[in-house]
Amino acid sequence: MVARNISDEQRYFFHGDLDAFFASVEQLDNPQLRGKPVVVGGSPDKRGVVAAASYEARKLGARSAMPMRSAMKLSNKIIRVESRFERYRELSTQIMDCFRLISNDVEPLSLDEAYVDVSNKSLWTQKTKAASDLKRKVLGVTGLNITIGGGSNKSVAKIASQVAKPNGILLVPVGDEIKFMGPLTIDLISGVGPVTQSILSDKGIHTIAQLASANRDWLFSKFGKRGIQLQKIALGVDDRRIETSRDRKSISAETTMDSDTDDPEELMNILGGLVSDVVGKLNAKDLFTKTIKIKFRLADFSTFTRQISFDQPTNEVSIIYEQARSLFTKQIEEAGSLRMIGFGVSNFVSQTDLDSSEFQNPIQLKLNLNV
C-alpha cells in the first residue's frame, strides 16, 4: 500500500486502459487486419469465447465474453484470430514500464489496464502534461493507443476512461465528481452488472445521480453492504488506495445470471469470460497459479465450491480454462439450474520462484490434477 502522507483532498489517480487490446495487437502486427472487424479467441467449434473485439467488430455486434460461434454468425466480414498471450504479456510489460515513468505507485488490473497514483502532480497543468506524456509514450513504445481517465479516486478515474474511449484523455477536476458522474448511466460503475442494473432500473434508477439520491434502506435491503458502497461511489466517495503489493492470497470473479439457467453452452460461455478476466489479472501481476476454484449457486441458493491443484504452476489461459471447464462439467451434470458462477485462482508462484530449480517450465508442462 502507498505510505506517503497525502491528504484526501490532494489525491489524484489515472486509470489507463488500452483500446481493444488483444485485437489492437493483432492489427498492429498484421497490417492486413487494420480497419477490419477482428475478434480474438478460441474456435467456434470448440465452444470458444471472444476474448477481445476490435471497434470495427463491435459495430457489427461482437463483444467480449460472447460465444465465438455467435460472433461469427453476426457477419461474414468478421475475422477470427487465435489468442497469443505471450505477445500480449510482452507488450503489457512495456506498457506498465511506461506507467512507472510517471509514478512508482502503479496497480495493474489486467494486461492492458492499471491505476496510477499521480498525487505528486499537485498543479492541474502537471496532471494534464503527465496524461499527455503517458499517452505519447505508450504509443511510441508499443504502437498502441491508450485511453486515460483521471479523478480524485479510483472510481471516478475509471468512469472517466470509459467515457473517453476510444483513444482519449478525460481528467475530472477535484470537486466536480458529482457534476461529472450525475448524468451518466449506472452501468458505468464497476460492479453494476446486468442483474444489478435490472433491479435498479425497475426502481426507476437509471443514472448515477438517481443512485446517489436513492433510499439508503432500500439499497441495503436489495444489495446489502454492496448497495451502500455503490451509493458512496455515486456520491463521489471511494477511499481505496493504490495496491502495489503483489502478495495477494487469491484473485476471483463471479457473475449472477439474469435468470436461472441449466443451458450448458451458456454456462460454459460465462465461465470462459470469468477465466479470461481472472487470468488477465494474474498475468498483469506476473504471477502463476497452482490452484483454481469454481463456485456455483443453485436456484435454491445452495452454494458450492470445488477446487483442484496442479503439480506445476501456470498462467496460460488455455490450460487454466480447460481444467476449469473439466471441473465445472463434472460438478454441474446433476446440479440443475444455476443462478451464479464464480471462478478464482490462488496458491501463487512468482517469476522469481520459477527461475529457481524447484519448478520446470510452467507453460509446456502437461498438468496432473489432484482432485
Do 335 and 272 lie in one domain? The reply is: yes
pLDDT the model gives residue 245: 54
Do 202 and 335 lie in one domain? The reply is: no
pLDDT the model gives residue 255: 83
User: Domain for residue 3, yes or no?
Assistant: no
Q: Within 10 Å of residue 292's Cβ, how many Cβ atoms? A: 26
User: Domain for residue 129, yes or no?
Assistant: yes
User: Domain for residue 319, yes or no?
Assistant: yes
User: Tell me, what CATH number does 167's domain have?
Assistant: 3.30.70.270
113 belongs to the catalytic site: yes
pLDDT the model gives residue 359: 55
User: Domain for residue 240, yes or no?
Assistant: no
Q: Within 10 Å of residue 38's Cβ, how many Cβ atoms? A: 25
The percent of residues in the chain predicted with pLDDT above 90, rounded, is 49
Of 210, 234, 258, which marks where a domain is finished? 234
Q: How far lies 156's CA from each of 1, 152, 176, 230, 240, in Å? A: 20, 7, 10, 12, 12
Q: How many domains does the chain fold into?
A: 4
Of 124, 156, 174, which marks where a domain is finished? 174
Mean pLDDT within 65-94: 90
Mean pLDDT within 241-263: 77
Do 260 and 165 lie in one domain? The reply is: no
Of 322, 316, 313, 318, nearest in space to 346 by CA: 313
Do 265 and 328 lie in one domain? The reply is: yes
Query: Do residues 108 and 119 make contact, with C-beta atoms less than 8 angstroms apart?
Result: no
pLDDT tens by residue, 287-343:
889 899 998 887 767 778 888 888 788 888 878 888 888 888 876 766 667 888 899
pLDDT tens by residue, 21-46:
999 999 999 999 999 999 998 888 87
Q: What is the DSSP string of 317-335?
A: HHHHHHHHHHHHHHHHTTT
Secondary structure of residue 132 in the 3-state scheme? helix
User: Domain for residue 321, yes or no?
Assistant: yes
Do 271 and 365 lie in one domain? The reply is: yes
Do 141 and 15 lie in one domain? The reply is: yes
Of 126, 152, 174, which marks where a domain is finished? 174
User: Tell me, what CATH number does 60's domain have?
Assistant: 3.40.1170.60
Do 91 and 138 lie in one domain? The reply is: yes
pLDDT tens by residue, 339-360:
888 999 988 887 766 665 455 4
pLDDT the model gives residue 366: 33
pLDDT tens by residue, 174-224:
999 999 999 999 999 987 877 789 899 999 999 999 999 999 999 999 888
**Joined grid coordinates for residue 125:** 497543468
User: Domain for residue 158, yes or no?
Assistant: yes
Q: Within 10 Å of residue 1's Cβ, how many Cβ atoms? A: 8
* Catalytic annotation, pick one of 26, 113, 177, 316: 113
The answer to which of 143-152, 232-241, 271-280 has the lowest mean pLDDT is: 271-280
Q: How far apart are CA 324 and CA 154, in angstroms?
A: 31
User: Domain for residue 65, yes or no?
Assistant: yes
Do 78 and 153 lie in one domain? The reply is: no
Q: At what angle do helices 85-100 and 264-284 cross, to 10 degrees?
A: 40
Whether the pLDDT of residue 98 is over 70: the answer is yes
Query: Do residues 234 and 259 make contact, with C-beta atoms less than 8 angstroms apart?
Result: no
User: Domain for residue 1, yes or no?
Assistant: no
The domain of 160 spans 11-19+86-174
